[in-house]
């Protein structure tokens, strides 16, 4: 089975409830074994200028989860999109670039899939193309796998986080470690 790291985020509605339901969906998914989840973080929206005042209601809740799966990457992506749709995500029209900063009740992204490098597909890039640029991804990922080496950049997650220039605020949400359990 492959070890996979997923990013989970929400900035609409009851963000905590949505992420708890997403984790419950992952735990119930055939061919997927839920391993662990990071701390839940409150994160400043990426589209906001660092330091700009953004209403708390527009901030994301983000975390990273580790799973093991026998699903191939594109099959896993399809399952993740089903979970997103079930929990209220409606993908707008246009290109992924056009939709990048749309508010959403749930966003599930494959960050890393073992040491696989997958490109050339418009639907999926592994490792995630922006993983190394985003504090809201690297900080929780570093909790779970600080010494894991990025398969393209050949730096550990800790090294990537230490060198990161992203100044967007990422703070613990103040919930217990097993926040995902109701």
Q: Using one digit for the tens of pLDDT, what is the confidence trace for 56-77? A: 767 999 999 999 999 999 999 9
pLDDT computed for residue 49 by the predictor: 57
Confidence of residue 46 (pLDDT cuts 50, 70, 90): confident
Q: Residues 131-136: contacts with CB within 8 Å, 24+ apart?
A: 131/160, 132/160, 132/164, 133/164, 133/166, 134/46, 134/166, 134/168, 135/43, 135/161, 135/164, 135/166, 135/168, 135/170, 136/9, 136/41, 136/43, 136/46, 136/60, 136/62, 136/168, 136/170
Active site residues: 89, 104, 107, 109
Q: For residue 95, is pLDDT > 90?
A: no
Which domains are assigned to the chain? 2-172 (3.30.70.560)
């Amino acid at each position: 089975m492959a070890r996979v790291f997923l990013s989970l985020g929400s900035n609409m509605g009851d963000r905590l409830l949505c992420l708890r339901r997403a984790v419950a969906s992952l735990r119930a998914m055939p061919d997927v074994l839920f391993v662990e989840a990071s701390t839940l973080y409150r994160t400043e929206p990426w589209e906001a200028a660092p330091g700009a005042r953004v209403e708390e209601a527009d901030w994301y809740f983000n975390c990273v989860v580790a799973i093991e799966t026998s699903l191939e990457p594109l099959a896993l992506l399809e399952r993740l999109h089903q979970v997103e749709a079930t929990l209220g995500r409606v993908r707008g029209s246009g290109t992924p670039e056009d939709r990048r900063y749309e508010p959403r009740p749930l966003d599930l992204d494959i960050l890393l899939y073992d040491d696989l490098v997958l490109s050339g597909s418009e639907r999926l890039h592994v490792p995630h193309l922006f993983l190394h640029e985003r504090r809201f991804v690297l900080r929780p990922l570093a909790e779970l796998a600080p010494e894991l080496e990025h398969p393209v950049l050949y730096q550990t997650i800790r090294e990537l986080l230490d060198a990161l220039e992203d100044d967007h605020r990422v703070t613990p949400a103040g919930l217990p470690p097993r926040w995902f359990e109701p």
